[in-house]
Copies of this chain bind each other. A is one copy, B any other.
Amino acid sequence: MKPIRIAIIGFGKIAEDQHLPAISANPRFELAATSSRTGHGVEPIFEDWRELLQSIEGLEAVAITTPPSVRHEIAAACIEAGLHVLMEKPPTSTLSEVEDLICLAEAKGVTLFGTWHSRHNPSVPIAAQALAGKRIAEMQIRWQEDVHKWHPGQRWIWDAGGFGVFDPGINALSIVTAIFPGSLFVRSAQLSVPANAETPVAAEIDFASDVADGPLHASFDFLRTDGEEWTIDIRTTDGRSIFLKEGGARLFVDGAEQDVSGPGEYPDIYREFVDLIDQRRSSVDVTPLRLVADSYLAASHTTVEPITS
């Protein structure tokens, strides 16, 4: 079977660390080109993605790994060109943009895949099954990391539309919305915004749910240098406990660690992208982005110390 010729648009850290190895290891793909405004990438490299689209013969798909604010324009042009489109998370800066892309892809008959890499941990379907049909007594999410370690020099995170601590926090939301046995609503959100930033460096969010009898809380912190933690702790009213740690890489059910070996997040993303293309289907779940938007709608704000870069 002829491999799918794919290009990476916006070749930065996540493309180099994750998308490139995952594409290279998947025989169903052939990397045809890359683009980045800095000229960084794998040959042939284009500084202008429009030139890439015009120049590469037989291109069938793109992975868009730019910052979210420019993705709608790029994805809309790629869909218009008849390409299958994979987007890093979050798919776009705004909800209207992703809803528009869903319509465009459906009209054009191409595959649109809004990825949530954290959902590709094997722990996620196991946790979902363990919670199915249960009532929830308590949930505590802690997503606390050192921004300077994981996003060195990435100023866009602090600019308008840059998501701040919701850039990692949306990964927690993408897992929770996949495993929680009912709807989640943002009840309140306390955002801490650095004096020199437009986006929060920390967020304390309380949720409500039709299937919960106790507190549902998320604590996002982007300035945790010691004791980084990416955990989701859920107890059901009938005494079951679900504990995800290391961003979903490890899972404990009732205290016992589960076997969650798998191909890895990004290899599994590209496996699913092949399936979606083969079946001419799209997969775009806006729920995690909607919960971020809802956190802003419900937010109260505290100004905190300026962020250093």
Contacts and interface: CB of A to CB of B under 8 A. Distances in A.
Interface stretch (A10-18, A276-284, A285-293): A285-293
A72 interface: yes
Nearest to A300: B160
A99 B290 CA distance: 10
A140 interface: no
A246 interface: no
A189 B296 CA distance: 13
A294 interface: yes
Contact of A184 (B93, B96, B290): B96
What number of copies of this chain does the assembly contain? Answer: 2
A93 B290 CA distance: 12
B95 A95 contact: yes
A294 B94 contact: yes
Output the residue of A76, A160, A184 with the most chain B CB within 10 A: A160
Interface string A84-119: 000000000111110110000000000000000000
A28 to B, nearest CB: 33
A236 to B, nearest CB: 21
Given A94-B186, A186-B94, A297 B301 contact: no
Contact of A183 (B100, B291, B293, B297): B100
Contacts of A287: 96
B160 A95 contact: no
Contacts of A99: 290
A185 B72 contact: yes
B185 A97 contact: yes
Contacts of A183: 96, 100
Contacts of A299: 160, 198, 296
A161 interface: yes
Contact of A100 (B76, B95, B185): B185
Contacts of A161: 188, 297-298
A79 B166 CA distance: 33
A296 B291 CA distance: 13
A220 to B, nearest CB: 16
Nearest to A72: B185
Output the residue of A76, A99, A292, A298 with the most chain B CB within 10 A: A298
Contact of A293 (B188, B210, B297): B297
7 contacts: A76-B210, A94-B186, A95-B95, A96-B184, A193-B301, A292-B297, A303-B303
